Amino acid sequence: MIAVALLCLTVAQAQVVVRTHVVEPARLEMWRALPEARPVLRNFRAPILDRAAQPARLELPGETADSRDVKAARTIATRLAREGLRATLVAAVEDLGAERAAGDAGAALLEQVGLPVDLLACWSPTGSEPLHDRVARELRAGAPARDVLAHLASLSFAFEPSIPGWRVATESGEVEAGAVRMQVSSASDYAQPGEGGAMDVFRGLARLLPDAEIVASVETKHRALLESEARALTASRRAPITLIEEPLPVSQWAQDNAKAGFVESGGPRRIAWLAPRYASRGEDGTTFVPGENLAVEGFAATGRTVALSRLLFQGGDILCVQDPRTGTRFLLVGEAEVARNRALGLAVEEVLAALRAEFVADRCIVLPAVSFHVDLEVTVRATQTGLVACVLDTTGAARIVIQSGLDALESAGLLDAEAKRAARADLDANRHAEFFARIGPVLQPHQHAGGRFALAFAERFAAGPADSGVGNLQRFLLALDLWAAARIGQATAEDLGVDPDSFAYLGSLRRREVDRMRVADALESLGWTVVPVPGLSDGTRGVNPLNGLQLAGRYLMPAYGGLFAPLDAAARETIGRAFGTGIAIDPVPCGETQRRAGGLHCAAAVEPRP
């Protein structure tokens, strides 16, 4: 009996598989030389996967190039987003010369000067005359450019999906995790285990999902430490842990450079991943990040199907959910994703049509950019009564954070019990002037010039060695600002006792809260149940329970911990009530990850079981 038991244990225990992403030396040298920068060439696509042999050109042609090429490249760079792809095509063909811009050579030339030639097919169905050839032919025949453009304007738009038969997996609790894709930016804890950084997220998911493969990309210099950690986790796991050693740095944000989905044509249903035109960072300027792109190629080398989209997107700003009553698939899209693709020359309605076709959705719901990504503002669950959307209740969260901050001041001996009790009473009664009159003298002696606080004072806000006093103080100050900003509209700068600049800052916070209300109203208008959940989203100052993973029968909730464990508890209780019985709410330590402006959904992408 003992021998059999040991044998079963050996068979059941997971393995650690290490794969090295081997990149040919000359090509790796090219990748190492690539800057983290916004591509000037608007048509840039990552030179990975089936484009691995393509040169990586981000810049306009140099001054030594043919003057017609330089002129066309500048025309594209300055007019594409404003005037659209068809109008810019006509202008670029004029700049290059209609004879040069025709045929396969003309298409290659247009691509070289920055035109998204791959998107021209949206107005030119397969088998018909290529759009650039039509423009060149009509211009050679003497047609005025305005007439050529008028002909193009009459053409209908149709986007052909990058993966035939593919549709993105929903993220409203329907799927089980077959695998979880991660990127571990550092294999050592910033302070110590429990802080909620990349390693804690890795540990947490490995323990909570023993039957899902963990696939983690890691830079070479961190591999050995991560492998050691992975081997220590295998005793309680049944599915393997696969580590992909990458030659370039990777960030923690695996969600943003690929989305998983199903191919449901041509045989049994199978999994495939869709990567953006190029993996990027930033909102107002989309920045190409070399390591994030090369990591997609390394992930594909594990045997998975990965394809490049012709569209730009960041995965945290694209959420597909399905109404269980009607089967309607909704694509929640941040307005930044619309702007990214408008920069490729598509009009707003064309961007939305392309997104619906690419991800296979019935409706696109564009949400205001309250936070960097929509996954920081909302999480949606399919329930027996329909879709439940949890949105941030920053007012409730601010009160909890302020209360926790008062506890920290009392523990530090800076606020006695009676003063704390009085401050709590002022907070509960919304007596702003009285509250700040009590708390201001406690905070002000620890400020340096410019409103900065001494490190020794900030450390008083740490609830333990794995907690961040600096991060907690930042959140406490944010909560005070949010609470004060709630009075904007009923109070003047004089009423609040602040200078005009501070009043303008508080007004900006209030406007963001109005946008947050717009998000809630938009979702409620769809017939969804909207539930406010206490949480903060403010870049590196968030305490955000909504940036989690919706799986069948459970929600993996990012937990901040430490001083703000009461906020985690309140959020967990609220989310549990919203989703109903039978749904487990499992916290995953993410404090340090949230201090880096992310969360659990940002750091992990689920590959569903087929």
Coil, strand or helix at 442 = helix
The predicted pLDDT at position 7 comes to 31
Closest CA to 478 of 470, 489, 488: 470
Residue 367 clears pLDDT 70, i.e. is over it: yes
Environment class of 331 (CB within 10 Å of its CB; exposed 0-12, middle 13-18, buried 19+)? buried
Residue 314 clears pLDDT 60, i.e. is over it: yes
SS3 content of the chain, % helix, strand, coil (to 5): 45, 20, 35
User: What pairs with residue 218 in β-bridges?
Assistant: 184, 245
Residue 448 clears pLDDT 90, i.e. is over it: no
Residue 3 clears pLDDT 80, i.e. is over it: no
Closest CA to 363 of 310, 324, 319, 312: 319
Looking at the structure, do residues 361 and 261 belong to the same domain, yes or no? yes
Looking at the structure, do residues 137 and 165 belong to the same domain, yes or no? no
* 416: in domain: yes
Looking at the structure, do residues 177 and 266 belong to the same domain, yes or no? yes
Phi, psi for residue 417 in degrees, rounded to 5: -60, -40
Residue 317 clears pLDDT 70, i.e. is over it: yes
Residue 220's pLDDT band (cuts 50, 70, 90):
very high
Structurally, the chain folds into a number of domains equal to: 3
Residue 191's pLDDT band (cuts 50, 70, 90):
confident
Looking at the structure, do residues 174 and 137 belong to the same domain, yes or no? no
Looking at the structure, do residues 223 and 334 belong to the same domain, yes or no? yes
Residue 5's pLDDT band (cuts 50, 70, 90):
very low
Average of per-residue pLDDT across 373-396: 97
Looking at the structure, do residues 169 and 294 belong to the same domain, yes or no? yes
The predicted pLDDT at position 502 comes to 87
Q: What is the spatial order of strands in the sheet that 549-551 belongs to?
A: 549-551, 554-559, 584-589
Task: Give the DSSP H or E segment for 320.
Answer: strand 318-322
Average of per-residue pLDDT across 474-494: 88
**pLDDT tens figures, 193-202:** 999 999 999 9
* 423: in domain: yes
Looking at the structure, do residues 19 and 74 belong to the same domain, yes or no? no
Least confident piece of the model among 2-6, 70-74, 109-113, 307-311: 2-6
DSSP string, 490-528: TB-HHHHT--HHHHHHHHHHHHHHHHHHHHHHHHHTTT-
End-to-end Cα separation, the chain, in angstroms: 36
Residue 79's pLDDT band (cuts 50, 70, 90):
very high
- Of 452, 474, 508, the residue that ends a domain is 508
**pLDDT tens figures, 491-532:** 777 777 778 888 899 999 999 999 999 999 999 999 999 999
- Give every CB contact of residue 168 below 8 A, 6+ residues apart in sequence: 259, 260, 261, 274, 318, 320, 331, 359, 360, 361
Average of per-residue pLDDT across 386-409: 98
* 291: in domain: yes
Coil, strand or helix at 315 = helix
Looking at the structure, do residues 404 and 359 belong to the same domain, yes or no? no
* 582: in domain: no
Average of per-residue pLDDT across 297-304: 97
Q: What is the DSSP letter of 174?
A: -
What is the residue whose two structure tokens read 């025309």? 75
Q: What is the DSSP letter of 488?
A: B
Environment class of 429 (CB within 10 Å of its CB; exposed 0-12, middle 13-18, buried 19+)? exposed
Phi, psi for residue 604 in degrees, rounded to 5: -145, 135
Largest CA distance in the chain: 90
The predicted pLDDT at position 59 comes to 86
The predicted pLDDT at position 14 comes to 81
* 212: in domain: no
The predicted pLDDT at position 12 comes to 53
* Helix intervals (H) in 448-584: 455-458, 469-485, 493-496, 500-524, 565-579
Residue % of the chain over a pLDDT of 70: 98
* 454: in domain: yes
- Structural domain boundaries enclosing 124: 60-153
pTM over 0.75: yes
- Give every CB contact of residue 246 below 8 A, 6+ residues apart in sequence: 21, 217, 218, 219, 220, 291, 294, 295, 298
Are 339 and 349 within 8 A, CB to CB?
Answer: no
Residue 411 clears pLDDT 80, i.e. is over it: yes
Query: What is the torsional sign of CA 488, 490, 493, 496?
Result: negative
Average of per-residue pLDDT across 587-596: 97
Are 42 and 266 within 8 A, CB to CB?
Answer: no
In angstroms and rounded to an integer, the radius of gyration of the C-alpha atoms of the chain is 27
Environment class of 598 (CB within 10 Å of its CB; exposed 0-12, middle 13-18, buried 19+)? buried
* 240: in domain: yes
Average of per-residue pLDDT across 71-86: 96
Looking at the structure, do residues 148 and 294 belong to the same domain, yes or no? no
How far apart (Å, rounded) are the C-alpha atoms in residues 462 and 454? Answer: 14
Residue 10 clears pLDDT 60, i.e. is over it: no
Mean of pLDDT over the chain: 94
Which amino acid belongs to residue 245?
A: E
- Give every CB contact of residue 6 below 8 A, 6+ residues apart in sequence: none
Looking at the structure, do residues 82 and 164 belong to the same domain, yes or no? no
Q: What is the DSSP letter of 395?
A: H
- Of 476, 508, 540, the residue that ends a domain is 508
How far apart (Å, rounded) are the C-alpha atoms in residues 562 and 300? Answer: 38
Looking at the structure, do residues 228 and 345 belong to the same domain, yes or no? yes
Average of per-residue pLDDT across 388-394: 98
Looking at the structure, do residues 172 and 24 belong to the same domain, yes or no? yes
Residue 4 clears pLDDT 90, i.e. is over it: no
- Give every CB contact of residue 117 below 8 A, 6+ residues apart in sequence: 43, 107, 110, 111, 132
Closest CA to 341 of 119, 102, 37, 50: 119
The predicted pLDDT at position 61 comes to 81
- Of 455, 482, 508, the residue that ends a domain is 508
User: What pairs with residue 168 in β-bridges?
Assistant: 261
Torsion of CA 243, 234, 188, 32, to 10 degrees: 0
* 344: in domain: yes
**pLDDT tens figures, 252-282:** 999 999 999 999 887 899 999 999 999 999 9
Query: What is the torsional sign of CA 592, 560, 398, 315?
Result: positive
Average of per-residue pLDDT across 358-384: 96
